[in-house]
Amino acid sequence: MAMNKKQKNIAEKLDRDALHSVDDAIKTVKEFASSKFDETVEIALNLGVDPRHADQMVRGMVSLPSGTGKDMRVAVFAKGDKAEEAKKAGADVVGAEDLMETMQGGDLNFDRVIATPDMMGVVGRLGKVLGPKGLMPNPKLGTVTPDVTKAVGDAKGGQVEFRVEKAGIVHSGIGKASFSEKDLRANFDAFVGAIVKAKPSGAKGKYVKKVAISSTMGPGLKINTSEIEGA
């Protein structure tokens, strides 16, 4: 997609190597996001870890206080009363063996998959389907739980999962360009705070090496990591 005149003017003024304060970067990202759709504001962190080692894995969940701006599609594996709870909580699809067959057939249009513990025998058969998509329910992430009401509410209310990739990169959406600067800053702080808190025991040297934010169609702006407590 070609940049419009406003975007070109901003891009020409940007120093791609400059380090920005968090607030300045958020303000500039919002100015640059002038597409016809509401662009996602994305964050990327380069961490000093090698996730090939178990003691250097960074993974978890964080609730963004301002929400994600995205309508999360949630599937829940549950039966009986728990299935009814999940439906009341707002799950998009609830099922058991029937849902497993649907997913095996290729219907994976979900952002989060949750399961009650008693359903893991069924869900386990979907490992090769859900695993590569990062959708496999996991008790450590709170997606295998008897409390489906809370799990669905968290997913719908702005909770996002993070997981470091092979190159030591963690990335996620932290809101929409239409969000206020204050709301984006709150989400930025919550996400980065969760990453810092999740620092693994095997991490050596500087933990948060680089941080950048951008909008879907905009340039990446580097953040001065000295602003980040615990980095």
Instruction: Give per-residue pLDDT as tens, 15-52.
Output: 777 899 999 999 999 988 877 889 999 999 999 999 99
Q: Pseudo-torsion of CA 57, 187, 142, 152, nearest 10°?
A: -150
pTM of the complete model: 0.82
Q: Residue-wise over 142-151: b if at least 16 C-beta within 10 A, else e?
A: bbbbeebbeb
What whole-number percentage of the chain has pLDDT above 70? Answer: 94
DSSP-based three-state secondary structure for 216: coil
H/E segment holding residue 213? strand 208-215
Alpha-carbon distance 75 to 123, whole Å? 12
- Please give the pLDDT value at position 2: 56
The closest of 68, 54, 24 to 181, measured between CA atoms, is 24
Tens of pLDDT, residue by residue over 113-151, are 999 999 999 999 999 999 988 899 999 889 999 999 999
